[in-house]
Structure formats: C-alpha cells, structure tokens
Chains A and B, each alone.
Chain A
Amino acid sequence: MPEKKLQIALYWGAACGGCDVAVLDTNEFVIGVGFLVDIRLWPIAADGKYRDVEAMADGELDCTLFHGAIRNSENEHLAKLLRRKSKVLVALGSCAHLGGIPGLANQVTKQEILERVYLDNPSIEAGNRVVPLPSTRVDAGELEIPRFYRRVYRLDDVVPVDYYVPGCPPAPEQVKAALQALVNGTLPPARSVIGASNRTVCDDCRRRKEEKKVTRFHRPWEILQDPDRCLMEQGILCAGSATRSGCGVRCPDSGMPCRGCYGPAPNVIDQGAKFVSAVSSIVDSKDPREIERILGDIPDILGYAYRFGLPASLLQRSIR
C-alpha cells in the first residue's frame, strides 16, 4: 500500500460513455484500484463538482483520464483546467485520441448540424423548432450553455497530452495495463501510445492470408464468409492493414472486419490514405472502367477510411 494514494480524475468530453464502461469492465481490478487511488472527479460514476477541481492546486492530480473529443467550449474549458491540475494527462479512447465517431461531423458545417437537429428533424413539433443560443435572457437573468464549435477537435489540439490509449472503446485489459503502469510508476516516455502494440491488426490476425485479388466488394452480411480466411480476400473491407493492433483482434475473430478504432499503425501519418492504398491494391483488373466499377461497390469512402479519426487526418475536415 503506497503511503499516499494517487489522486486521479476521469472526465468525458464529446463521448458516448463507452470508455467509462471500459474502465468499469476491468471489474474487480477497478475496485482494487480504489484502495490505491482517490478518484477526485468521475462524472458518470461519482459526485464531484467543477468548482472542486478549480479549487485544487496546480498539479495536485497525479493523472486525468480524459475521454471524448472537443466539440464545445465546455469540453475545452475542462480539458485546460484538468491539464493544469494534472501531472499526467491521458487521452483515453478513440475520441480523445483521434476525434472518434463524433469527428465524422467534420464532414458538415456547424450550421447544417444545428438546422438538422433543431429545425428539420421530423420528430420535432412545429412550435418547438428553436436553435439554442450560447446565452439566453430570461426573467431570472442570463442563462448560458457551452458554445458549439465549428468542428470537432482531438484533445491534443487544445492541450498537450502525455499518453494516448486508443480504442473504441479501449480493450479492458489494456485499460487495466495502463492503470497498472500508472500505479506502479512504470509509464513509458511521454507522448507515446500506451495500451496497444506496435504491429498492425493484420499482423496479429489469426485468419489465413493468401493472394489478394478482388473483383467485387461486399458488405459483411451480403455473403457467407469463410471463417478462417482473410476478410479482404473475400471482398469484405477490413481496415486491419492500416490500423494499430493491441485490441486483441476482437472484430475479425467475431466475423466482423476491423473498423480501424485503434488508429493509424505506427509510422503511418494518415490512416485513411493508407487504407485507400491498401484497398485499391487488391483490385484485380488493369482496365480503368472495370476498376471504377469494382471500387464503385464501396459506399462512403471518407466515412469508412476515417471512421474513428477524421480530425486526426491530414485534411481534418471537409472544405465547405
């Protein structure tokens, strides 16, 4: 038992809460951690007010696990606050690491999102079509809500991050490994990806790999797949070749293609560009028109290539 318990916080930005569940999925381990650490802030599981964080001394927290992307001014405010109060800041999960699923919103403008959600959505009653403003005057005074940003950012875009734990969500055993390293004080050099490997998902995939020549791409449900053979060879788009491993190859093992949540493989700058390169290279044709037809089977290439990391791509967002 350490003399002084480690002080930690868990916080979410634009996120679904799946990363919190991944922390809870470490089961008895997370209960054990409770004997080693004081959880000072964890909105989904414990009480704790922002003003309590504000009252802390700078660097008082040993570590903050921040999951979720930066979508609005509250996310950024808390990211900066927790950065100041923490010795170590960890981006936990795809959203904090790369922008995640919320990052796909970088394909549209803020205006389009507000109109779709608050005005055009068919489930909104006619008299109720109101776009919320950052501040509203009511009888009791001025009401404020966070300002919605023009686009989605990674945690790294607003504050310096010490470690990245990838995954959507991170595999519980990897969360456990990261927490263990924190508790034991055995963290690697700063700014590295932890809780993952330095190989690709393909390297770790148990499926049989032969020559890849594809004349037709399929959605996973459209064909009866060979459970032992590489999914790409069967014409099912799989992001494994462009994606960092460490997840335990859970998706290909379950008959589903890799979707790329662990982010770019080591030394890959742009995951989607590499994915495009890999997919194109297996097309079995030398005729431009046939190539177009075969690749035409693939819907929404931007969404597929950058499903978990559009804000982390070189181009970051659509030009509109």
Chain B
Amino acid sequence: MGFEPRIVGFLCNWCSYTGADLAGTARIHYAPNVRVIRVMCSARVDPTFVVKALAEGADGVLICGCHPGDCHYSEGNYKAMRRFPLLGRLLRDYGIEEDRVRLEWVSASEGKRFAEIVDDMTERVRRLGPSRVKTLLEADRVER
C-alpha cells in the first residue's frame, strides 16, 4: 500500500478556515491528507503544538493565517511570521526536513489557493516519506 502523508493543519478561524470551507463548498478536488484543527488566530499556534504533532507521528504540519495586514486581531499573523523562522531552524537542527512544516497565508476567498497548497505540500511530504520520529522514539524505549 502506498504511503499517505498525515498532515496536521492549524487554520485561523477568520481567513484560512473559511478559505478551506470555501474549497469544500466550491467542490474543489484536493488531497484529503490534511487534518484540520481550527484555531482563533495563527498566533495561537504555540511552537509546542508543532513539536507535539511531530512527536506524536504527524508527517507534516501546515499553519495557515490571514495575509499580512489582514489579521482579524490586527497583528496576530505577524507573531506567527516571527516565530516560524526560528522554529524552522530548531526543527532542522532536530533533523526534520524543511518541507514537513509550512506557514502560508490564505484569505477567506482563496479556496483554490488553499487546495493548491494542500496538494503541493502533500506531494512534497509524500516524496520525503513517512516521518521517522515516532518510530525512533518508540525504538529508544525498547532498545537502548
């Protein structure tokens, strides 16, 4: 059986979740690999959430928020924008490939854009193969 990536998606309530909703109501076909968790703002995505998703076996994590300047809370997405580069470096130091974690801006009217991002990310993660994090941590418990 082929490998189907499991990607955790954190979508902001005001733009990106609505954008994903639009992709659905517009009946756009796209990869079913992202499991969506709605958050009030991309700033709500604590780096701990991303690390935890990866530790528990996610093959990828997608964070989506309003475009810069459009945040419902005026500046929340800038906080996500500032966190992301340092979190990315931390994850690369852990040996986690860059393509597994992604930050994108999707507005409420961009259903098509959301579908394209999900398709593209799913393909990139598929090429990387399953994340080895959970398997390795479980093996560490059995054999030291």
Please pick, from A274, A280, A303, the residue contacting B86 in the complex, using a CB distance under 8 A: A280
Of the stretches A129-137, A166-174, A291-299, the one at the interface is A291-299
Which A residues lie within 8 Å of B84 (CB)? Answer: 280
Residues of A within 8 A of B51 (CB): 270, 273, 313-315
Q: Which of A56-64, A182-190, A204-212, A281-289 contacts B (4 or more CB under 8 A)?
A: A281-289
Residue of A295, A313, A320 with most chain B CB atoms under a 10 A cut-off? A295
Q: Please, how many angstroms separate the alpha-carbon atoms of A269 and B82 in the complex?
A: 21
The chain A residue sitting closest to B45, CB to CB, is A277
CB distance from A19 to the nearest CB of B (A): 23
Q: What is the 8 Å Cβ interface bit string for chain A, positions 190-222, against chain B (1 contact, 0 not)?
A: 000000000000000000000000000000000
| B residues in contact with A273, CB < 8 Å | 46-48, 50-51, 87, 90
How many residues of chain B have a CB within 8 Å of chain A?
Answer: 32
What residues of A have a CB within 8 angstroms of the CB of B82 in the complex?
280-281, 283, 285, 291, 295
> A297-318 vs B: 1/0 string, CB under 8 Å?
0101111010000000111111
Chain A proximity of B82: nearest CB distance (Å): 4
B132 interface contact, C-beta 8 A: yes
Specify which chain A residues have a CB less than 8 angstroms from the CB of B124 in the assembled complex: none
Residues of A within 8 A of B89 (CB): 295, 301
> Do A272 and B136 touch across chains, with their CB atoms under 8 A apart?
no
A residues near B29, Cβ cutoff 8 Å: none
Inter-chain CA distance A153–B85, complex, in Å, is: 29
B 120-135 to A, binary, CB cutoff 8 A, 1 in contact else 0: 0000000000001100
B55 at the interface (CB under 8 A from A): yes
List A contacts of B90 (CB < 8 A). 272-273, 276, 301-302, 305
A277 and B46 form a contact (CB under 8 A): yes
A20 close to B (CB within 8 Å): no
Contact at B48–A269, with CB atoms within 8 Å?
yes
CA distance A217 to B137 in the complex (A): 34
Does A107 make an interface contact (CB < 8 A)?
A: yes
Cα-based distance from A107 to B86 in the complex (angstroms): 18
Q: Which of the segments B5-13, B34-42, B92-100, B106-114 contacts the partner chain? A: B92-100
Bound-complex Cα distance A120 to B47 (A): 37
A305 to B94, CA, bound (A): 12
B140, A280: Cβ atoms closer than 8 Å: no
Given contacts A76-B144, A274-B48, is CB(A318)–CB(B93) below 8 Å? yes
In the bound assembly, the distance between CA atoms of A313 and B94 in angstroms comes to 11
When distances are taken between beta carbons in the complex, the residues of chain B under 8 Å from A76 are 144
> What are 12 of the A-B contact pairs (CB < 8 Å)?
A274-B48, A276-B86, A277-B48, A280-B87, A281-B79, A295-B89, A300-B93, A301-B90, A302-B94, A303-B93, A315-B54, A319-B94
Other A-B contacts than A157-B141, A270-B47, A319-B95, 9 sampled, CB-CB below 8 A, are: A149-B144, A150-B144, A273-B51, A277-B47, A280-B87, A281-B82, A291-B81, A295-B85, A317-B94
